[in-house]
Amino acid sequence: MNKDMKILVVDDFSTMRRIIKNLLRDLGFSNTDEADDGNSALPMLQTGKYDFLVTDWNMPGMTGIELLKNVRADENLKTLPILMVTAEAKRDQIVAAAQAGVNGYVVKPFTAAVLKEKIEKIFERIDS
């Protein structure tokens, strides 16, 4: 797993973005950018600079699941690894995210250990 990879953190609450960025930095990933919803995230992703997307679900404008679907529908982005970090805890929603092609799903409130485990798992699967 490349610790220099560029990560985009998408959440409408700035405090949650800060928390995730801090946790990522503790895990050795300090190359991170932020966006506050899908509408601002998608054009950033389309520049092709990002190696990993961490997104919330419930956001004004474009939601995380719509962002996920848009990314998977984009020829240049469809293989981008995506971790969803969200308070959405309905089984139907988790199944919908899995069907839309999410690579990992973390429910809030979460711990640093869970975030680490899920990121490692995603890249283990990709690298193998």
The footprint of another protein (CB under 8 A) covers 14-15, 18-19, 22, 57-59, 63-66, 86-95, 98, 105-108, 110, 114
Dig out the tokens for 97 from the structure. Answer: 């995210």
Residue 55 CB coordination number (10 Å): 25
Residue 93: CB partners within 8 Å, gap ≥ 6? 57, 65
Closest CA to 103 of 72, 59, 70: 72
Shortest Cβ 49–another protein spacing (Å): 25
Measured from the CB atom, the residue of 52 and 103 that comes closer to another protein is 103
Measured from the CB atom, the residue of 48 and 86 that comes closer to another protein is 86
Measured from the CB atom, the residue of 58 and 76 that comes closer to another protein is 58
Shortest Cβ 22–another protein spacing (Å): 7
DSSP letter for 2, please: -
Shortest Cβ 45–another protein spacing (Å): 18
Q: What is the CA radius of gyration of the chain?
A: 13
